[in-house]
Structure 1
Amino acid sequence: MRIFGVKAEDNDAAEIENARYINLAIEEINKSNEWLKSTDKPYQVMLTHIEILLILARRFPVNANLLIKQYQTKEWNETFNEWFNRCERKIPSKFRGGIKENADELFDELGKYGNNLRY
């Protein structure tokens, strides 16, 4: 095993471990995406998983760009917006605008990561 730096991931054994967590976040977002397609409940967990994915993407941009698919992020955004439009009247009015604004900011940042490959 080779050590090539001082960061936690700077050795052969740990170098791509962050990819496991990026993939886990993507898997959880996909689950949330499917649930949001049909629910009429005024709550969701997708934004939390996206925020976690963004934390990982900021720290590990190379693996994030390899693992995040831009066509998926567009679908997630569309699904979220459809859910929001369907359920927004059930969300307390004092939070409604902030939730949508937060979602837009998260999806805008997420759009900076990923690739267009379909493998």
Structure 2
Amino acid sequence: METLPCKGCRGLCCGPVPVTAKELNRIKMKIKRMPKKLRSNLEDQTRYLGTCIFYDQDNDRCGIHSIRPEICKMFGYYKDLACFRKPELATQSLPAMKEDPVGILSVDFKWDYF
């Protein structure tokens, strides 16, 4: 599968991010195990308004990539979630979500929650 050209996007497509209760629990566990210096660096970064709180602006990547929410994994490959730099990759129809979101990262869940 061809990958998205995320390098250089600086998180412009990383938000808003709806999360389910299950995803939120996994994220919470990862953040609790994250080294304090890494967490502090990620938490203190300035991001564009609406960008996910876990987008690592300094390193131009997702700070929780291994446990990122399902919506992030689908981004760019589904018609309703097309990447503006490579819209031709968005060929699939969006599937029904298995679980309803409980909120939005950066809006309902900020660093003080974690």
When normalised by structure 2's length, the TM-score is: 0.27
The structure carrying a bigger strand percent of its residues is 2
- Structure ID, larger Rg: 1
Q: Which has the higher helix share?
A: 1
The two structures have a TM-score, normalised by structure 1, of 0.27
